Amino acid sequence: MATPHAPLTHAPAQLTPAALPGRARPRRLGFLRSGVLLGAGALTLTLLPGTAAAEPAATAAEAAQQVAEASHQLEVVTEQLNEAKVVLEQQQAAAQGAEQAAAEAQEQLDALDEQIRQLARSAYTSGGNRLTQLDVLLTSGSADEFVSQLGTLDAIAGHTNAAVTEVGQVADRAEDARDEAQKARDEAQKAVDDIAAQQEDLEARIADYQRQYDALSAPQQAEVARAHGGGEALPAPSGVIAPSAAAQKAVDTALAQVGDPYVWGAGGPNAFDCSGLTSYAYAAAGVSLPHSSASQSRMGMAVSRSELQPGDLVFFYSPVSHVGMYIGNGQMVHASTSGQPVKVASLDSMGSYNSARRIAG
């Protein structure tokens, strides 16, 4: 039987799909919604609500292959959603930075406003009386005193003018900062809305897939695992030696999860998807990785396949939609697909090898 699925991590609670009236939902995968559901004894066609008729699979092998393809496509969609959440975090951080910049600019503007007021009082009042050049002339005891007082008055006026100019510049910066903050907030809000819609659609796809998978016979489910499960599980090796303490901790942590269930969108501690496992393993080593295979494929340093060392991340498909952790001897540990636990498998078992990155060591 398939592994039960835990709920996926949702977009922020304040923005749920229910709060998105009129939003067009993304197009779902044809073979997921076509409703090819198979009983253990015969090939039959069951249509899901609201779907068009589809041709039934001709053989059990073809049916298993269709479900395997659906599993791969769900992983692609899940990793796209994971990547969208990473981008959202970056946008929210940018929005917070813009808000802080706007607040600091406003504080500076407020401080300069008070400075202007003080300069104005110094320049134009003296002892409660208005100070003018005529006042200076009439109250001066000598020509030298008059020149001295007039120079002081001009200096104060010049300082005031400079301060007024600075206030204008700071006011412009504050306005720009407020505009940038609003733009950042709007972009983050749109990302949240989009993720909420994608999350709802993904959960519907997973429910459809689960029905299809559960309807397969045990041999058919095994065929799905072979077609998109990273090959046969291998015994977890002992004594894997990584090139650095951080890589060693990541390898040890990943191997400790062997046997844990695969759940789309999960990042531990008891269930994982592919990028959730690798980010969890490196977090234990004090290295923060985004929960996205695409983002992880841009982290660290690129290494060739011939230079792989334990702890390196290995990526599959183009564009990248799957990641595992190399453990040496041509093997990796990874969360492969639904219905399959975290396991050790051959590096060649997934096919479509893409690239590798060294995160530590």
Catalytic residue IDs? 274, 322, 334
CA distances from 189 to 81, 182, 183, 192, 196 (A): 16, 10, 10, 5, 11
Tell me, rounded to whole angstroms, the distance of Cα 192 from its chain centroid.
11
The rounded distance, in Å, linking the Cα atoms of 150 and 137 is 8
CA distances from 179 to 80, 97, 100, 105, 286 (A): 30, 13, 13, 12, 37
Q: Which two tokens stand for residue 178?
A: 């407020």
The rounded distance, in Å, linking the Cα atoms of 212 and 54 is 14
Contact in structure between 133 and 147 (CB atoms under 8 Å):
no
Selection from 173, 163, 177, 206 nearest residue 338 by Cα: 206
Selection from 5, 6, 15, 1 nearest residue 188 by Cα: 15
The rounded distance, in Å, linking the Cα atoms of 340 and 351 is 17
Residue 161 identity? N
User: Where on the phi/psi map is residue 197: left (φ > 0), alpha (ψ -120 to 50), or beta?
Assistant: alpha
Contact in structure between 293 and 82 (CB atoms under 8 Å):
yes
- Residue ranges of E strands in 31-166: 125-126, 129-130
The rounded distance, in Å, linking the Cα atoms of 223 and 64 is 6
